């Protein structure tokens, strides 16, 4: 299966060498890696360029954008820029530049796609360093296909209409995959090192965008409160709950555009409620 990987990168010089070394060491090599240097001021471009000179399947592009950190949107806009330059592929991957993959990552995932024609997306699990141990990054269930390390089958990627440029893109894609009757899968044996924990640069305003994402996925207020409470509990941040609910209400009164149609939203709410009730049965 032909694999194309796009890695959005903004000032990732501290992590890029370890990240790219883990790609080079794969037992099943991708057909291409496109690293998009998004307006970096460090040695990001220079580092990737040195790999591109050594490996013809590694490419580097430069994108000029704003320095303003816009959670979700900035990274997806950069990914889409790289996507325009990809070759023909069967699997498309959106990966972060601050991860280290086990060397059998693509081999095991390709096996899953070949064994299940309904599989739409797949990933391993993310681990962060605490003291001298690598522990599971507990911001999502272990069944959730995480945004920094996921592969999509082309059929699924096209059916869901690509990735939404905003916070929640790596939740709505999974829900839309299920809406279109694709399977999603995580492989717990694939432990990926996440060198910089998720949300490291988040402010209270950024937390509001989580509520905005729930509005755009048509969660409605009760489901939003439950989801926000769960996130706040996992993050050990009570303020996250209030900021997320505020963000939802703000988007509601502003009538911001949605990520999904009414029919897709109805499916998403039903799917989420089934998951909630299943925990009590």
CATH number of the domain encompassing residue 180: 3.90.550.10
Least confident of 45-59, 101-115, 200-214: 200-214
Tokens found for residue 130: 């605490």
Structure-token match 């490996």, residue found: 55
Q: In the prediction, which pLDDT does 99 show?
A: 97
The reply to whether 102 and 226 lie within a common domain is no
- Are 218 and 126 in contact, with CB atoms under 8 Å apart? no
Q: Is residue 200 part of a domain?
A: no
Of 173, 194, 215, the domain-final residue? 194
pTM value is: 0.90
| Mean pLDDT value across the chain | 92
Q: Is residue 17 part of a domain?
A: yes
- Are 207 and 145 in contact, with CB atoms under 8 Å apart? no
C-alpha distances out from residue 241 to 71, 77, 161, 214, 270, Å: 18, 27, 30, 12, 22
User: How far is it, in rounded angstroms, from Cα 249 to Cα 39?
Assistant: 33
- Are 31 and 59 in contact, with CB atoms under 8 Å apart? no
Of 194, 218, 236, the domain-final residue? 194
Q: Is the pLDDT of residue 172 over 70?
A: yes
Q: In the prediction, which pLDDT does 68 show?
A: 62
pLDDT band at 202 (very low <50, low <70, confident <90, very high): very low
- Find the mean pLDDT for residues 11-33: 97
- Structural domain boundaries, residue 263: 205-278
The reply to whether 109 and 237 lie within a common domain is no
Q: Is residue 225 part of a domain?
A: yes
Q: Is residue 209 part of a domain?
A: yes
pLDDT band at 67 (very low <50, low <70, confident <90, very high): low
Q: In the prediction, which pLDDT does 34 show?
A: 98
- b/e map 147-177, b = 16+ CB within 10 Å: bbbbbbbbebbebbebbbbbbbbbbbbbbbb
Q: Is the pLDDT of residue 203 over 60?
A: no
81-99 pLDDT, tens per residue? 999 999 999 999 999 999 9
Least confident of 62-66, 94-98, 198-202, 242-246: 198-202
pLDDT band at 65 (very low <50, low <70, confident <90, very high): confident
pLDDT band at 70 (very low <50, low <70, confident <90, very high): low
The reply to whether 147 and 57 lie within a common domain is yes
> How many of the other CB atoms lie within 10 Å of CB of 255?
8
- Total count of domains within the chain: 2
Q: In the prediction, which pLDDT does 201 show?
A: 46
Q: What percent of the chain has pLDDT over 90?
A: 80
Q: Kind and range of the H or E element at 92?
A: strand 91-95
Alpha helices in the chain (DSSP H): 13-24, 44-54, 73-83, 105-115, 154-159, 169-179, 204-216, 221-235, 238-254, 262-278
The reply to whether 101 and 164 lie within a common domain is yes
User: How far is it, in rounded angstroms, from Cα 212 to Cα 268?
Assistant: 16
The reply to whether 216 and 189 lie within a common domain is no
The reply to whether 129 and 262 lie within a common domain is no
Q: What percent of the chain has pLDDT over 70?
A: 95
Of 168, 194, 220, the domain-final residue? 194
């Amino acid at each position: 299966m032909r694999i194309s990987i796009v890695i959005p990168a903004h000032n990732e010089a501290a992590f890029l060498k370890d990240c790219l070394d883990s790609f080079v060491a794969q037992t099943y090599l991708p057909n291409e890696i496109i690293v998009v240097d998004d307006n970096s001021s460090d040695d990001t471009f220079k580092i990737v360029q040195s790999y591109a000179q050594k490996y013809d399947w590694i490419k580097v592009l430069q994108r000029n954008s704003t320095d303003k950190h816009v959670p979700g949107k900035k990274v997806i806009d950069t990914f889409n820029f790289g996507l325009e330059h990809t070759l023909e592929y069967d699997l498309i991957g959106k990966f972060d530049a601050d991860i280290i993959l086990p060397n059998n990552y693509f081999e095991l995932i390709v096996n899953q796609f070949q064994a299940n024609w309904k599989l739409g997306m797949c990933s391993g699990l993310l681990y962060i360093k605490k003291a001298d141990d690598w522990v599971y990054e507990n911001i999502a269930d272990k069944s959730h296909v995480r945004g920094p390390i996921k592969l999509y089958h082309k059929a699924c990627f096209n059916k869901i209409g690509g990735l939404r440029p905003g916070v929640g893109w790596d939740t709505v894609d999974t829900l839309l995959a299920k809406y279109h009757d694709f399977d999603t899968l995580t492989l717990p044996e694939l432990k990926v090192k996440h060198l910089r924990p998720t949300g490291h640069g988040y402010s209270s305003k950024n937390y509001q965008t989580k509520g905005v994402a729930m509005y755009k996925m048509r969660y409605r207020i009760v489901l939003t409160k439950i989801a926000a409470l769960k996130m706040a509990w996992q993050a050990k941040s009570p303020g996250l709950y209030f900021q997320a609910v505020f963000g939802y209400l703000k988007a509601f009164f502003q009538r911001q555009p949605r990520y999904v149609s009414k029919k897709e939203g109805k499916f998403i709410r039903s799917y989420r409620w089934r998951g909630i009730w299943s925990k009590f049965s």
